[in-house]
A and B are shown apart, each in its own frame.
Chain A
Amino acid sequence: MKAMQDKQGDSKNRATFWRRNLWSGILFGLGFVAFLDETLFHQLLHWHKFYDKSTVAVGLVSDGLFHAFSWFATVGGLYMVADLRRRGALWHKMWWGGKLLGGGVFQLYDGTIQHKIMRIHQIRYNVDILPYDLVWNISAAIMILVGIGLIMNAKRDQRQGKGAFSHA
């Protein structure tokens, strides 16, 4: 009986804090992709360059802003998760939807605007870059689509008051 009430309480809290769930996911997703980019491609593989001579000035500014923002997004997103948990309001489906959406949007921005238009740096040097760019940007698009799908699905669960929602 008590477990039942807790479940109902949880779904109420989730509904109240659905925006915080979504934003926490978006922020963490963005920060996480930026973090992977830094560790995998800059530090471990050494594919990306710290500074590429062809970078335009606005690219340096954009890179600086996104890099700074990603630190805040990662830490802030996780503290928001901790806050949602202590309120019994963490909604995994919504959070994962936000995470994939935020991560995908950042990766697509990085792969198109920052790499191609602002020419901050390329994914890898001295290779045919086209396959790399395609994999990078298509995987970003897939993350965005799956993310949006999960968010819409979570909202539908909530509207229908489905059992899946209270167990989600």
Chain B
Amino acid sequence: MHDAADNHAFFLFTDIFFGIPALLAIGFYIGAVLATNRRKRYRKWPWQRTIFFVTGVFLAASALIGPLSRQSHVDFTAHMAGHLLLGMLAPLLIALAAPMTLLLRTLNVNFARKVSRLMKSRSIRFFSHPIVASILNIGGLSLLYTTNLYTAMHENLLLHVIVHIHVFIAGYLFTISLVYIDPVFHRFSFPYRTSIFILALAGHGILSKFIYAYPPAGVLEEQARIGGMLMYYGGDAVDLILIIILFRHWYQSVRPRRDIAVRMG
């Protein structure tokens, strides 16, 4: 176990390591919005997206720095609340903020071409594949809660940092592999994405009940029960938003054309 001085150094490092990039991300996003809104040929960037982005980054940061992250070390329920924010709600809000679209509209044509070439690359195609992203997401969580990784993460700073970055990136990839907000170069059909999504959501639910019944090493039974239920119902709530967006996109994509309606009537 750490002593107080060790703990202090541990959290001071994570506060700086995660806090500065979070502030920079918000700064760059708002800067890009202000800069491109001034250009005449673009329409105004929707202000809701800026709100989504700032809220998303704040929620992710609140799981990584400050009181919630300290509480997470001793309290499994706090850990789970942080995980929901960092791995599910923050990625969803940031995806809704369309950061890629903003980047492409900010860069000059040459750089924008390079970025879109990168987006079409094999590795991006691989990691944003719905199956790969789901395995990274749910598989990563299974490893965390069914092996002693969960205990080890609290002892080792490097593991702590890697696990938290993984939770966020896996959550983000999962979100953008299922609902298309930013430009997507490798598209999958609605039935395909729906099927994968159902399996991933089922995996999330099964893992929550597994945690409820078999607490991870070092977690008290009472805390595992509350944490498991929080993961189950919190996951449901965020996934419900994702499902609504997915079907809304389907609804828009199958809109009947006027002329067809007239011919049929």
Contacts and interface: CB of A to CB of B under 8 A. Distances in A.
B205 to A, nearest CB: 4
B203 A64 contact: yes
A75 B243 CA distance: 7
**Binding site of B, secondary structure by majority: helix, strand, loop or mixed?**
helix
Given A13-B264, A65-B198, A75 B209 contact: no
A5 B254 contact: no
Given A9-B264, A51-B209, A76-B247, A71 B201 contact: yes
Contacts of A13: 264-265
A72 B264 contact: no
B209 A60 contact: yes
B25 interface: no
A32 to B, nearest CB: 15
A75 B244 contact: yes
A67 B205 contact: yes
A61 interface: yes
Nearest to A10: B265
Interface stretch (A81-89, A97-105, A108-116, A129-137): A81-89
Contacts of A76: 194, 243, 247, 250
Contacts of B152: none
Interface string B225-265: 00011001000100110011001101100111000010011
Contact of A64 (B209, B229, B250): B209
A69 interface: yes
Nearest to B249: A79
A92 B264 CA distance: 20
Given A12-B264, A79-B250, A61 B206 contact: yes
Contact of B248 (A5, A51, A79): A79
Interface string A54-77: 010000110111011101100110
Interface string B168-208: 00000000000000000000000000100111011111100
B112 to A, nearest CB: 34
B16 interface: no
A71 B212 contact: no
Contact of A71 (B199, B210, B243, B254): B243
Contacts of A6: 265
Contacts of B243: 71-72, 75-76
20 contacts: A6-B265, A12-B264, A13-B264, A50-B229, A50-B232, A51-B213, A51-B228, A60-B206, A61-B202, A63-B205, A64-B205, A65-B199, A71-B201, A71-B236, A71-B243, A75-B243, A76-B243, A76-B247, A86-B255, A86-B256
Interface of B: 194, 197-199, 201-206, 209-210, 212-213, 228-229, 232, 236, 239-240, 243-244, 247-248, 250-251, 254-256, 261, 264-265
